[in-house]
Amino acid sequence: MDKARDSHTDLSRHQAKEVIIIGAGPAGAAAAAWLARAGHAVRVLERSHFPRFSIGESLLPRCMQHLKACGLMPYAEAGDYQPKTGAAFTRRGEHRHIDFRDKFSDGPGTTWQIERADFDQRLIEGAREYGAKVEFGVTVNGFRAAEGNEGPRLTLEDGRELEAAFVLDASGYGRVLARLESLERDPRLEPRVALFGHVHDGIAGLTPPAEGYHRDNILIASHPVHPDVWYWLIPFTHGRASLGVVGPRELIEATGDDSENSLNKQQRLWQWVNEEPRLNELLRDATPANAVQSLGGYSADVSRLHGPGYALLGNAGEFLDPVFSSGVTIALESALRAMPLVERELACTDESQRPDWASEFEQPLRRGINVFREFVTAWYDGRLPDIIYHPDPHLRIRQMISAVLAGYAWDEKNPFVSASRRRLTALATLSASAHDTRQPAARKGKIPS
């Protein structure tokens, strides 16, 4: 076949078929909206029926740029969510606050705390309004990568087989292509367990009122004795909040018996909450709003984020840890970075025009993920708490840390992005000596009296 005819065949093959997206979470919805708005044929296949519960409720300000870029901002804004301006930290009676509006990097400094059932439904509805076809209750369980002139093929649980122009795996914890293409690899983070549920938090009605804590902050509390156990409190609107505790399995499951029933998990969660004075005080009038769930071993990674005719987005590729709420931001970042490349894939008429997914997608995306990984590692090994609880932080450095925690982990101008490990270690050493001078008991892991 001559080159011109071959190119024509290839082009018409792409024009005739759709980009198929596995999963309708934030990564899938953002990709679908972007492509549909650009006039491409898109089909989203989603295993569950929306609205469905999902964990991952505290966004980072960087997300606001993503939502704008894919056209989903008006749909998200209609959700009337709890604004978020920063993160509050508490440990053994010490309180710190990082305000995302006061940060090193350019970009929005506020975002939302959202119930994902509602948020995800709004996003995928937006994508649908832009023209994406969305099928719920459809599970993808088979895959064959693109080969020659054949596009990638998906097998569905209902027996259908679909050929796509390109496949985006946004299946989150479903990890469809990681499993089917044997891409899974060690996530390089310790396995941990989270126990979480929603509460009617009762904070607004507290008498006396909750001093110094505002709903527009995620609260990250450290256990007074176990430094590797921490809690989140993420207030929503209407007096509801998400509450969770994270730690090593042997500790988290040591409370209560091993029964899987939700009552037992509820008791375990509250037993942990009772051990942290600040949360215990804030939630003294709280009542459960749903069943408590647990999730373990959620950190995950893959050997590569792309292959012939496909790319992996969001949690379907790499997921780190919940501590700095980076999950949805990374999911959206990956979708937005992949979109121009997918568009070039669809337009390309011969191999020489194909994007280089390794250098144009995976490497730059991973650079920011690695920054978050450094921060997560520094949180658990104690360097980051030393920095956060420094009694007299340097303003500019605080703004640099604030920028990363606000999601600007790809801003290479920030020294805590370009050299995160070195900077965190050096700063933690300085901070630790400040703590040593002021609080020797705390450094030894004892609770100050």
Ligand X SMILES: Cc1cc2nc3c(=O)[nH]c(=O)nc-3n(C[C@H](O)[C@H](O)[C@H](O)COP(=O)(O)OP(=O)(O)OC[C@H]3O[C@@H](n4cnc5c(N)ncnc54)[C@H](O)[C@@H]3O)c2cc1C
Q: How many CB atoms lie within 10 A of CB 327?
A: 25
Choosing from 71, 172, 197, 235, the residue that interacts with ligand X (CB under 6 A) is 172
* Binding of residue 154 to ligand X (CB under 6 A): no
By the rule CB under 6 A, 67 interacts with ligand X: no
Closer Cβ to ligand X, 48 or 425, answer by number: 48
Q: Is 174 in the site for ligand X (CB under 6 A)?
A: yes
Give the side-chain half-sphere CA count within 13 A for 251: 16
- Three-state DSSP class for residue 218: strand
Token readout for 103 is: 């940060």
To ligand X, the closest distance from the beta carbon of 123 in angstroms equals 9
**Per CB under 6 A, which of residues 261..290 are in contact with ligand X?**
none
Q: Does 132 bind ligand X (CB under 6 A)?
A: no
Q: Which of 41, 176, 273, 378 binds ligand X (CB under 6 A)?
A: 176
173 or 253: CB nearest ligand X: 173
Residues 325-384 that bind ligand X (CB under 6 A): 325, 327-329, 331
> Count H helices, E strands: the chain?
17, 21
- Would you count residue 126 as binding ligand X (CB under 6 A)? no
Q: Which two tokens mark 195?
A: 């126990």
**48 part of the interface to ligand X, by CB under 6 A:** yes
- Give one word for 202, left, alpha or beta, with left for phi > 0 and alpha for psi -120 to 50: left
Q: What are phi and psi of 334, to 5 degrees?
A: -65, -40
Asked if residue 58 binds ligand X (CB under 6 A), the reply is yes
The stretch among 69-77, 172-180, 256-264, 418-426 that binds ligand X (CB under 6 A) is 172-180
Q: Is 393 in the site for ligand X (CB under 6 A)?
A: no
Our CB check for ligand X shows the closer of 13 and 304 to be 304
Q: How far is CA 276 from the centre of its chain?
A: 25
Task: Rule CB under 6 A: say whether 167 interacts with ligand X.
Answer: no
C-alpha to C-alpha distance for 195 and 242, rounded to whole angstroms: 11
Whichever of 175 and 423 has its CB closer to ligand X, that residue is 175
Q: Which of 295, 432, 434, 442 binds ligand X (CB under 6 A)?
A: 295
Structure-token pair, residue 194: 């989270």
Cβ neighbours of 442 (radius 10 Å): 17
CA–CA distance, 293 with 260 (Å, rounded to integer): 9
Which stretch, 19-27, 202-210, 251-259, 411-419, contacts ligand X (CB under 6 A)? Answer: 19-27
**Within positions 183 to 222, which residues make up the interface with ligand X, using CB under 6 A?**
194, 196
Closest separation between CB of residue 26 and ligand X, Å?
A: 4
Q: How far is the CB of 126 from ligand X (least distance, A)?
A: 14
For the CA atoms of 254, 255, 258, 260, what is the dihedral angle to 10 degrees?
Answer: -130
Stretch that binds ligand X, among 23-31, 74-82, 129-137, 386-394 (CB under 6 A): 23-31
Q: Does 162 bind ligand X (CB under 6 A)?
A: no
Q: Which of 139, 264, 280, 290 forms a contact with ligand X (CB under 6 A)?
A: 139
CB of 325 to ligand X, least distance (A): 4
**Which stretch in 3-11, 41-49, 208-216, 247-255 sits in contact with ligand X by CB under 6 A?**
41-49
Long-range contacts, stretch 360-368, CB < 8 angstroms, 24+ apart: 361/305, 361/306, 361/311, 361/337, 362/304, 362/305, 362/306, 364/337, 364/410, 365/305, 365/333, 365/334, 365/337, 366/305, 366/318, 367/410, 368/330, 368/333, 368/409, 368/410, 368/417
Under the binding rule (CB under 6 A), the answer on residue 180 touching ligand X is no
With a CB cutoff of 8 Å and minimum separation 6, the contacts of 263 are none
386 neighbors 435 (Cβ within 8 angstroms)? yes
The reply on whether position 47 binds ligand X by CB under 6 A is: yes
Query: CA 16 from chain center: how many Å?
Result: 34
Alpha helices in 241-293 (DSSP H): 249-252, 262-274, 277-282
Residues that bind ligand X (CB under 6 A): 22-28, 45-48, 54-59, 139-140, 170-174, 176, 194, 196, 244, 295, 298, 314-316, 319, 322, 325, 327-329, 331
